[in-house]
């Protein structure tokens, strides 16, 4: 994973893997790089022409964690600046949903993972839930129980109505992390998000192959078989069962997903057959594919005690 070149969201999910694995030394070093590449308006981990409004926030929890273990004040300042950007400066829809991109008024399912989990960890609990509800209102398909990928808010039309596996995986991971980060008093919100998660799991599992894998577009068997959604969903199931808000019955399909992913790791340690970087339109390798293998294994380890 660390051998790969990384855009802002890739650096963020890789750092999150180190946080959840418990590798504080690497998490700290990665946070230092995220802050080195912070833009003046507060976006973390930006490499040159990064067009993401929400993607940079994927590094937020890692930077905040690095502050908590080190006490380095500049790390807290950097995390605060990232949060302030999301709350006050990022481009938004009339409904208040933060756009995924800076140069176009687009709402993506990916944004569910990028911003709300950091918001929740950083204390902006109500706004984290509001972002989830706003994105879900635009992209959720109740019949299929899946998220469409991209919406153009200016045109009021889908750019991509299809149910991309990676986008649905980002959504599932969002629900898992936000539920865990919300304070105990937000019972209704936690229960609502747990319901969102169960619906999404059910929609995905209905399209799962017997070997525990999914097609790149979840309900389109003519698209290529892809590995990362299995890792992403298994990760959230292990976290949900351990957290007490997901039924143990989901462990059976999750264990099949995990086994399928394990079988795709080559002798070099690459998880093969994930939706591949940099164009994400073919089976290949990606930082997020590596990171979610680590996240899945960390969650399984924690569930096992």
Q: What is the pLDDT of residue 223?
A: 98
203-227 confidence digits (pLDDT tens): 999 999 999 999 999 999 999 999 9
Confidence of residue 99 (pLDDT cuts 50, 70, 90): very high
The share of the chain scoring above pLDDT 70, in percent, equals 100
* Mean pLDDT computed over 149-163: 98
DSSP assignment of 270-305 equals: -BTTEEPTTTTSSEE--HHHHHHHHHHHHHHHHHH-
* Mean pLDDT computed over 67-90: 98
Q: What is the pLDDT of residue 213?
A: 98
| Beta carbons of 26 and 17 less than 8 angstroms apart | no
* Mean pLDDT computed over 145-150: 98
Q: What is the pLDDT of residue 152?
A: 98
Q: What is the pLDDT of residue 90?
A: 98
Instruction: Judge whether residue 73 has pLDDT over 90.
Output: yes
CATH class of domain segment(s) 8-304:
mainly alpha
| Beta carbons of 178 and 116 less than 8 angstroms apart | yes
Sheet containing 106-108, strands listed edge to edge, beginning at the edge strand earlier in sequence: 106-108, 150-152, 157-160
250-271 confidence digits (pLDDT tens): 999 999 999 999 999 999 999 9
Give me the sign of the Cα torsion angle 151, 157, 158, 161. Answer: positive
Q: What is the pLDDT of residue 266?
A: 98
Strand, coil or helix: 142 = coil
* Mean pLDDT computed over 97-115: 98
Q: What is the pLDDT of residue 49?
A: 84
Instruction: Judge whether residue 136 has pLDDT over 90.
Output: yes
pTM of structure: 0.97
* Mean pLDDT computed over 114-129: 98
* Mean pLDDT computed over 101-129: 98
Element (H, E) at 107: strand 106-108
């Amino acid at each position: 994973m660390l051998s790969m070149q990384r855009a802002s969201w890739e650096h963020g999910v890789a750092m999150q893997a180190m946080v959840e694995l418990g590798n504080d030394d690497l998490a700290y070093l990665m946070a230092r790089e995220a802050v080195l590449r912070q833009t003046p308006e507060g976006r973390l981990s930006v490499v040159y022409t990064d067009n993401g409004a929400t993607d940079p926030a994927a590094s937020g929890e890692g930077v905040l964690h690095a502050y908590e273990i080190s006490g380095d004040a500049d790390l807290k300042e950097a995390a605060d600046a990232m949060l302030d950007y999301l709350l006050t400066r990022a481009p938004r829809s009339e409904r208040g949903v933060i756009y995924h991109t800076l140069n176009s008024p687009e709402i993506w399912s990916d944004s569910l993972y990028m911003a709300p989990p950091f918001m929740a960890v950083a204390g902006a609990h109500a706004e984290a839930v509001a972002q989830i509800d706003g994105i879900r209102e635009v992209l959720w398909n109740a019949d299929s129980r899946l998220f469409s990928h991209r919406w153009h808010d200016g045109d009021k039309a889908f750019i991509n109505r299809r149910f991309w596996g990676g986008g649905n995986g980002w959504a599932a991971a969002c629900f898992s992390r936000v539920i865990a980060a919300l304070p105990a008093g937000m019972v209704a919100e936690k229960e609502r998000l747990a319901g969102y998660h169960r619906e999404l799991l059910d929609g995905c599992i209905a399209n799962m192959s017997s070997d525990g894998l999914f097609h790149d577009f979840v309900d389109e068997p003519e698209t290529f078989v892809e590995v990362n959604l299995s890792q992403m969903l298994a990760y959230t199931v292990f976290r949900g069962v351990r957290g007490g808000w997901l039924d143990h019955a989901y462990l059976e399909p999750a264990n099949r997903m995990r086994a399928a992913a394990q079988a795709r790791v080559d002798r070099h340690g690459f998880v093969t057959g994930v939706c591949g970087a940099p164009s994400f339109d073919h089976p290949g390798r990606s930082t997020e594919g590596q990171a979610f293998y680590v996240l899945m294994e960390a969650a399984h380890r924690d569930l096992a005690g």
